Amino acid sequence: MAALLSRRCLGTLGLQQGPGFALAGPSRLAVRGYAATKQKPPAAAKAAPKTKPTSSAATPKKPASVPPTPKAAPPAPKAAPKTKPTSSAATSKKPALVTPTPKAAPPAPKVVAKKPAVKSTSTQTVTKPERPKLLKAGGGLMYRVPEKKEIKELSEEEQLAQLERAMSMSDLYPTRDIWGQAMETLDVILPHSTSFSHRSNYSSWREMYQQFKENRYNDLKNYTSMLTLARDNAIPGVDLSGHRWWHKLITQWPWRLASTTSVSESSWLTSLRKSTLDTYRQLNTALAKGDDHTIKELASGTYQDQILRLKKKQNRDCKYIWHFHKEVTPARVLSIRAMPAYLAAEQPKFGNRNVVQALVRIDTEQSLEIYTHSGVPLHTRAEKRVKGSSSAEPARVTEYFVFEKKMWYDGPWIMKEQMWEAPGRKAAV
């Protein structure tokens, strides 16, 4: 009885003192029938001290349960409601109220502090994309140096697969010529002079020797291309069907195949040179007249784009008349390439399977008359005018063009691309 009274006195004192009351023992009293209010934790959450369970002599059967020590205090737990004291009889029947154990707060995420960016004191060089180079051509014109494109080399299996697909397409569409599609310019070369009189055009003897080797490679490829055409009897304007073995090995072929650059009338390429000159004259006349149909028929590839751009720059209110006066020097083939391109199973109905590309030097004297809508001349008048000729001052023009012809078509030679001499050098003619 005395022990019970002493516990009641302690509980009453705890309720009267409020939150400021503190005992030397545990900070939370849990007695059967009583529950002391818990103090509000401070801002900095600290682990609560361990509490010792109190033994009750009056109720030996059901000891008061003690809440386990929480790992970390919650941010702001609600205070337990105050309970009124009950009689001893009631306390012997009802279990003691226990303060709910607060759940442990989840661990705070680790914040990794970012290191401040350190500015590099060393200067960094930024490489800018190179602009296309512009070189001067004859007459004060400028032209862009074409960029070399890397061509992906195909394996033999990939080439055979492409060939099989093309042959299957030719069988499915017999009326469509899939072999006549546009193709890239072959490895025609504009040879430059390596004579001692042009030694100053090269920076070193090594560079001059490299140009000499390139010229000899061009001669060798010219010879093999001419041999390909001769075997198929495909040289334009030349019939080799009656040649015997002594013509091929001794008397005719050995020296004629090596005369690609010859301008002689007996040369095997005389017909080719005349045909290319005719194409050149027809295309310039069509450009002066603004004939798009003829331009697209006689030009292809990059040169067709070049001609169409020149046509757009012409003044529509003016009239242009182009005149061809003469050849200063005969047209000359500097480089020729031939290869089979018609790969169908059947032979072509006309001509042969080869495609030919030739780099031709054309050196002419020509003039251009320009008149306004009212007939006022805008060109420079000739000092000595011959009756029936052009009133404009003639000028000498030397140009280099790549002509192409698919030999299974009965059509003209097509101008595919224009080339220029390297700056400070002369073509080897």
Give the tens place of pLDDT for each residue, 295-316. Answer: 999 999 899 999 999 999 988 8
Question: Is the pLDDT reported for residue 120 higher than 50?
Answer: no
Contacts 24+ apart (CB under 8 A), 382-391: 389/323, 389/325, 390/321, 390/323, 390/325
- Specify the higher pLDDT residue, 425 or 36: 425
Radius of gyration of the CA atoms of the chain, in A: 51
What one-letter code names the amino acid at 180? G
pLDDT at 24 over 50: no
The answer to whether the beta carbons of residues 229 and 235 sit under 8 Å apart is: yes
With 90 as the cut, is the pLDDT of residue 144 above it? no
Q: What is the pLDDT of residue 228?
A: 94
Are 143 and 133 in contact, with CB atoms under 8 Å apart? no
pLDDT of amino acid 161:
76
Q: Answer yes or no: pTM beyond 0.85.
A: no
pLDDT at 90: 41
Greater model confidence, 59 or 227: 227
Distance in angstroms (rounded) separating the CA atoms of residues 80 and 84: 13
Which of 162, 12, 18 has its CA nearest to residue 85? 12
Tell whether the torsion through CA atoms of 277, 279, 284 and 285 is positive or negative.
positive
The pLDDT assigned to 9 comes to 47
Classify strands 134-136 and 142-144 as parallel, antiparallel or unpaired: antiparallel
Q: Which residue has the higher pLDDT, 36 or 290?
A: 290
Is the predicted pLDDT of residue 367 greater than 70, yes or no? Answer: yes
Q: What share of the chain is helix, strand, coil (3-state, %, to 5)?
A: 30, 15, 50
